[in-house]
């Protein structure tokens, strides 16, 4: 099953991450032998241009095997110039960050390529953990790429990551229920209309009310859709960061969250993306905000015989709902971008590999097989992609409008504080929650409060 | 009838030993003792004392892992920040609550299981012991996942099996409230660590002299009287050691909370707070200060047990 990034469930898969981190003695032997070979090759190559073949380690987020396949394709295409081996990170993006940042702080030179969740890119960039992107590479990898993916790879007006795949949330709905509720899904819908329809049809809206990264994703999309921003002015000094949580837009966002929680089902405060899909598939919820992986998941469930074929046939999809009727929505932006570790000994080869990984062909392959949407716009016209993902044009449009989460070095703190104040959504007080969250974030950034 | 324990036996001291002066033999024995214990002592210093001292040192700084250049000495500020924060006191309260509830329940259950293990027919005794010990062999994270899946509103079976209980229905979201989350966390902890307590108590049970039981029986004491007047007083040391070990353990509860709620609904424990400051926020200084405070609390609990209840750790070994 393809996984959406930004998806955070408490502690999934820590065992597998531990397993992947531990290497067997043989592997270690191979690694050190490879290191010796590389060293020997480098020494022997003194004075000549032909360096030894380098082995690149690509730290990947768990997926359905797509990145491993792309790694072997690129290894083959490199024709001996480099070999890419993959190493799997924990399942949740926050834990991926924790592991990577500690290793990079210890100047780990075995980290060549990383699949990194965009909100953490500023933190890594500011800490000088990323090798600078060469100008010519930057030019090539941004050509024909959707704007939100370029924004998500940029820090301080400089491209610091290579856009790989770009994710966004759509509004998924059951066509039969939307019809019964009299909703015209051809037109943009608002959250208010959805809540009314859910109440009238006695159904639920599946959204991410869990205290996790997914809650920040939702809140940010709502604030941005209402015309505001969680961080209005970012700054190097945490004390100078200007927050927009007391703005009218943030108040509107909190109002929407609270009203959705009334039709969010009994487990709204613990529902993440996976629980949402289950509710949607089982018919408890007729509306759902979620990443495109839900389509691939439904299709494979039908194939496996665990889901009636009629269920996905009833699926409808459209743009993320609006907060204000006359203002276009700003859907969440997620995905994965590639960065090169600053302590890598093969920076040039790593960027060469990164360019291969994000090629149009590989992005199309990744989209079709793993359900992870491409960052290159042209992939969305690929007939093969369109055949498997009829929602590709909607995803592409959504990506053009998508708003990244607040870009700041202190993202982890900001997100953690937001989760603490905006959870559970049912107990929000739109008038005061924003103020409390602002105070908490400021105090945490000044180092005056625990989180 | 009063409590019956065996009369204390005076430890005899060798008559011939000269007082005041250490003989050559004693000196060489002492040296041998150091030689034997030395390596372990060095290892303990390296793996325990060094990290503790490092944490104490780091806790005096404002230090962010990703920003080592701006590290600055701030004295006791971190401690002040923590001790004036309501989140700290809330997590202390949650931790104490989990500790008291789980240890109390585990003591009663563990004692019952120890009696079962002690009295089981010798033919089935190995099977009974193995069955009781299995939960203790399960890794805490795995047990936390198992309990989470069982109580989960989508994947769990608890809601459908126990729908006949008042307050439980198909829509009960166990991890959505403070009380129900803590209930499941405590259940998981109790299930997991009761075997540990019952093992320690089993060792204590074995020390109760059979002669006293027989004497009480001859005197016409009922089973209940023998339990309270003979068995329990004779294994007080074992009970206290079991309580002490489990309390120290329970106070550091982390895995179940991390897996089940990730600290939502005010279920953060003190260890969880240390994790979040150090690992998630990367504030090494603040996180170290939380860890040091946690360490101090654990030491205080140990002191309270040893001084307050006069637990003699060596007596549990029957010396």
Closest CA to A130 of A335, A344, A336: A344
Name the 3-class secondary structure at A362.
helix
Asked if B150 contacts B158 with a C-beta cutoff of 8 angstroms, the reply is: yes
Contact A42, A51 (CB under 8 A): yes
Token duo for residue B266: 């005010």
**Can you say how many angstroms the Cα of residue B254 is from the centroid of all Cα atoms in its chain?**
12
Can you give the pLDDT at residue B305? 87
Query: How many Cβ pairs closer than 8 A exist between chain A and B?
Result: 97
Report d(CA A224, CA A363) in Å as an integer. Answer: 28
Instruction: Give the 3-state secondary structure of residue A11.
Output: coil
Mean pLDDT of all residues in B148-165: 89
Separation between Cα atoms, residue B175 and residue B266, nearest integer Å = 11
**Is A405 in CB contact (< 8 Å) with chain B?**
no
Contact B243, B107 (CB under 8 A): yes
Task: Check B87 against A450: CB less than 8 A apart.
Answer: yes
pLDDT for the residue B6: 64
* Per-residue pLDDT band at B117 (split at 50, 70, 90): confident
**Per-domain boundaries in chain A:** 25-167+334-391, 170-330+410-445
Residue B144 confidence (pLDDT) above 50: yes
What mean pLDDT is reported for chain B?
A: 87
Rounded distance, CA B109 to CA A208, Å?
Answer: 40
What does the block give as tokens for A282? 């089982």
Position A77 scores a pLDDT of 92
The minimal CB distance from A267 to the residues B153, B273, B277 is found for: B153
Q: What pLDDT shows up at residue B10? A: 59
Structure confidence at residue A47 (pLDDT): 36
Q: Where are the beta strands (DSSP E) in chain B?
A: 61-62, 72-73
pTM recorded for the entire structure: 0.83
Q: Does B250 touch chain A (CB under 8 A)?
A: no
Helix (H) or strand (E) holding A336: strand A333-340
Tens digit of pLDDT for each residue in A337-392?
999 999 999 999 999 999 999 999 999 999 988 889 999 999 999 999 999 899 99
Rg of the Cα trace of chain A? 22
Q: Which pLDDT score, from 0 to 100, does residue A57 have?
A: 94
Which CATH architecture describes the domain A25-167+334-391? 3-Layer(aba) Sandwich (3.40)
- H or E, element range at A287: strand A285-290
The phi, psi pair for A345, rounded to 5°, reads -95, 0
In A240-331, which ranges are continuous DSSP H helix?
A: 248-261, 273-282, 293-304, 310-313
Cα–Cα distance, A172 to A392 (Å, whole number): 14
Using CA coordinates, name the residue in chain A closest to B84.
A449
Among candidates A10, A409, A451 on the partner chain, residue whose Cβ is nearest the Cβ of B281: A451
Q: What is the ipTM of this complex?
A: 0.80
Question: Looking at residue A8, what is its pLDDT?
Answer: 40
Give the residue-averaged pLDDT of B244-270.
Answer: 92
The CB-side HSE value for B303 (13 A sphere, CA atoms) comes to: 6
**Banded model confidence at residue B52, pLDDT cuts 50, 70, 90:** very high
Looking at CA atoms only, how far is residue A176 from chain B in angstroms? 24
Smallest CA–CA distance, residue B77 to chain A, in Å, is 9
The whole-angstrom separation of Cα A91 and Cα A423 is: 23
Non-local (6+) Cβ contacts of B244 within 8 A are B301, B302, B305, B306, B311
* Contact call for residues A116 and A336 (beta carbons, < 8 A): yes
Task: Count CB neighbours of B152 within 10 A.
Answer: 19
State the DSSP string of B72-137: EE-TTHHHHHHHT-HHHHHHHHHHHHHHHHHHHHHHHHHHHHHHHHHHS-TTTHHHHHHHHHHHHH
Give the gap in angstroms from C-alpha B67 to the nearest C-alpha of chain A.
Answer: 6
pLDDT band at B7 (very low <50, low <70, confident <90, very high): low
More confident residue, A335 or B6: A335
User: Could you tell me if A37 and A52 are in contact, meaning their C-beta atoms sit under 8 angstroms apart?
Assistant: yes
Nearest alpha carbon to residue A259 among A194, A180, A322, A331: A194
Q: Which of A123, A211, A450 lies nearest to residue B277, judging by beta carbons?
A: A450
**DSSP assignment letter at A282:** H
Q: Is the pLDDT of residue B318 over 70?
A: no
Q: What is the pLDDT of residue A446?
A: 85
Q: Which two tokens stand for residue B157?
A: 């079976």
Q: What is residue B236's predicted lDDT score, i.e. its pLDDT?
A: 85
Using a CB–CB cutoff of 8 Å, tell me whether B153 touches chain A: yes
Kindly state the DSSP code that residue A145 receives in the 8-state scheme.
B
CB under 8 A, 24+ apart: contacts of B88-93: B88/A450, B88/B270, B88/B273, B88/B290, B88/B293, B90/B266, B90/B268, B91/B268, B91/B269, B91/B270, B91/B272, B91/B273, B92/B270, B92/B297
Per-residue confidence (pLDDT) for residue B20, from 0 to 100: 61
Contacts of A212 in chain B (CB under 8 A): 262
Distances (CA, A) of A33 to A36, A41, A64: 5, 12, 30
- Please say whether the beta carbons of B290 and B273 come within 8 A: yes
Distant-in-sequence, close-in-space partners of A346: CB < 8 Å, separation ≥ 6: A54, A56, A82, A112
Q: Chain B within 8 Å of A212 (Cβ-Cβ)?
A: yes
A413 membership: H or E segment, kind and range: helix A411-421
- Segments of A23-182 assigned E as strands: 54-60, 82-88, 113-116, 154-155, 158-159, 162-168, 170-174
pLDDT class for B154, splitting at 50, 70, 90? confident
Chain A CB contacts of B88 under 8 Å are 450
Same topology for domains A25-167+334-391 and A170-330+410-445, yes or no? Answer: yes
The low-confidence residues of chain A, meaning pLDDT below 70, are: 1-53
Comparing CA positions, the residue from B252, B216, B247, B250 lying closest to residue B233 is B216
Distance CA B105, CA A431 (A): 44
CATH class of this structure's domain A170-330+410-445: alpha beta
**Is the pLDDT assigned to residue B115 strictly greater than 70?**
yes
Are residues A118 and A153 in contact, defined by beta-carbon separation less than 8 angstroms?
yes
pLDDT of residue B16: 55
Long-range contacts of B46-49 (CB under 8 A, 24+ apart): none
């Amino acid at each position: 099953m393809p996984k959406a990034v930004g998806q955070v469930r408490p502690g999934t898969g820590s065992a597998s991450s531990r397993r992947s981190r531990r290497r067997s003695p043989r592997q270690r032997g191979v690694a050190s032998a490879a290191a010796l070979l590389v060293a020997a090759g480098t020494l022997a190559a003194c004075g000549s241009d032909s360096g030894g073949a380098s082995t690149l380690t690509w730290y990947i987020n768990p997926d359905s095997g797509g990145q491993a396949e792309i790694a072997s394709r690129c290894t083959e295409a490199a024709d001996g110039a480099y070999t890419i081996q993959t190493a799997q990170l924990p399942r949740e993006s926050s834990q991926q960050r924790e592991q990577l940042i500690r290793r990079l702080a210890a100047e780990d030179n075995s980290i060549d390529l990383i699949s990194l969740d965009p909100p953490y890119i500023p933190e890594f960039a500011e800490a000088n953990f990323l090798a600078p992107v060469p100008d010519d590479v930057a030019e090539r990898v941004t050509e024909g790429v959707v704007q939100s993916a370029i924004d998500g790879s940029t820090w301080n007006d400089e491209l610091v990551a290579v856009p790989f795949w770009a994710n966004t949330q759509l509004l998924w709905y059951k066509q039969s229920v939307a019809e019964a509720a009299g909703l015209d899904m051809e037109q943009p819908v608002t959250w208010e209309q959805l809540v009314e329809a859910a109440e009238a049809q006695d159904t639920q809206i599946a959204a991410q009310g869990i205290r996790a990264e997914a809650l920040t994703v939702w809140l940010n999309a709502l604030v941005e859709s209402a015309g505001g921003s969680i961080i209005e002015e970012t700054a190097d000094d945490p004390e100078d960061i200007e927050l927009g949580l007391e703005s009218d837009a943030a108040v509107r966002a909190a109002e929407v969250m609270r009203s959705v929680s009334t039709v969010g089902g009994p487990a709204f405060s613990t529902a993440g993306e996976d629980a949402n899909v289950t509710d949607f598939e089982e018919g408890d919820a007729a509306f759902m905000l979620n990443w495109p992986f839900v389509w691939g998941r439904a299709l494979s469930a039908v194939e496996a015989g665990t889901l009636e074929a009629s269920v996905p046939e009833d699926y409808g999809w459209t743009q993320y709902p609006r907060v204000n009727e006359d203002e276009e929505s700003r859907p969440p932006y997620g995905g994965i971008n590639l960065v090169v570790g600053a302590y890598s000994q093969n920076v040039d080869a790593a960027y060469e590999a990164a360019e291969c990984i994000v090629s149009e062909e590989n992005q199309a392959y990744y989209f079709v097989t793993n359900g992870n949407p491409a960052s290159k716009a042209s992939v969305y016209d690929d007939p093969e992609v369109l055949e498997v993902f009829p929602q590709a044009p909607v995803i592409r449009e959504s990506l053009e409008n998508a708003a990244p989460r607040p870009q700041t070095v202190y993202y982890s703190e900001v997100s953690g504080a937001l989760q603490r104040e905006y959870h559970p959504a049912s107990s929000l007080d739109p008038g005061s929650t924003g103020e409390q969250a602002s105070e908490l974030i400021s105090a945490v950034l000044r180092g005056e409060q625990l989180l | 009838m009063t409590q019956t324990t065996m009369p204390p036996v005076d430890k005899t001291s060798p008559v011939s030993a000269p007082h005041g002066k250490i003989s050559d033999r004693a000196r060489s024995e002492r040296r041998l003792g150091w030689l034997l214990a030395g390596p372990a002592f060095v290892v303990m210093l390296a793996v325990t004392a060094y990290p503790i001292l490092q944490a104490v040192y780091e806790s005096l700084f404002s230090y962010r892992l990703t920003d080592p250049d701006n590290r600055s000495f701030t004295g006791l500020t971190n401690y002040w920040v923590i001790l004036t924060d309501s989140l700290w006191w809330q997590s202390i309260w949650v931790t104490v609550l989990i500790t008291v509830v789980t240890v109390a329940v585990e003591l009663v259950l563990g004692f019952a299981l120890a009696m079962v293990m002690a009295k089981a027919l010798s033919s089935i005794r190995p099977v009974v012991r193995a069955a009781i010990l299995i939960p203790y062999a399960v890794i805490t994270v795995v047990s936390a996942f198992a309990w989470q899946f069982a109580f989960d509103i989508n994947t769990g079976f608890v809601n459908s099996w126990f729908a006949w209980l008042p307050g439980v229905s198909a829509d009960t979201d166990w991890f959505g409230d403070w009380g129900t989350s803590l209930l499941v966390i405590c259940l998981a902890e109790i299930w997991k660590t009761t075997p540990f307590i019952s093992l320690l108590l089993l060792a204590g049970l074995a020390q109760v002299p059979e002669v006293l039981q027989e004497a009480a029986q001859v005197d016409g004491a009922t089973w209940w009287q023998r339990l309270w007047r003979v068995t329990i007083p004779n294994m007080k040391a074992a009970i206290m050691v079991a309580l002490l070990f489990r309390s120290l353990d329970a106070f550091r509860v982390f895995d179940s909370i991390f897996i089940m709620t990730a600290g939502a609904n005010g279920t953060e424990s003190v260890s969880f707070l240390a994790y979040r400051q150090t690992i998630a926020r990367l504030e090494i200084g603040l996180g170290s200060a939380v860890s040091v405070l946690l360490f101090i609390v654990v030491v205080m609990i140990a002191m309270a047990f040893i001084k307050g209840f006069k637990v003699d750790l060596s007596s549990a070994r029957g010396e």
